[in-house]
Amino acid sequence: MSHSARLHTHTHRQRGGKEGGRNGEIQGGRRSDKPAARTPPQAAQRSAGVEEMTVHNLYIFDRNGICLHYSEWNRKKHAGISRDQEYQLMYGMLFSIRSFVNKMSPVDFRDGFLSFQTSKYKLHYYETATGLKIVMNTDLGVGNIRDILSQIYSTIFVELVVKNPLCSLNEPIQSELFRTKLDSFVRGLPFFSARAG
């Protein structure tokens, strides 16, 4: 990989069933049982050389690696390969990282791989019990967004795809309502900016 990278994993859930970047989060190979000090967004943006926080793109894969949906907002660079090849490359990387984290972890944990960070962007990962995978790439100033990805699944995907008899769960999503709702949701996030970069 061209950039130095850092993996974030999570060993267990917090009380009340909420999941976040506190107990058991591993950052750069160091584990802390205390809440990590949160860097103010403005400071994080300055240190990352980013004027405003933003969302680059989002992928949704089924358990077999089929890309059900892709959206992009502030993507500045493309892979130079076909979209299908990009989906395969992304899913293959996710599969490898997830397998590596599960096999090499020195402690038992449930949630596993949460995010992947390079010097330029941060990849956020959420996997459901049914194997659906949601991936969002953001700039470095964005913190833990596991709850947001979970919300995309429960309030948008489940309501507009799973409960829609016209949508097949193993084919790319064709619903225009789903696309519109997802786009509106992402653009309404507090860290979304169309002017970033």
Residue 44 has what pLDDT? Answer: 45
- Phi, psi dihedrals of residue 177, rounded to the nearest 5°: -65, -40
Q: What is the pLDDT of residues 54-103, one digit of tens each?
A: 999 999 999 999 999 999 998 888 888 999 999 999 999 998 988 888 78
Minimal CA–CA distance to 131: which of 71, 61, 69, 70?
61
pTM for the structure as a whole:
0.72
Using a 10 angstrom Cβ sphere, with 0-12 exposed, 13-18 middle and 19 or more buried, the burial of residue 142 is buried
Specify the 3-state DSSP secondary structure of 165: coil
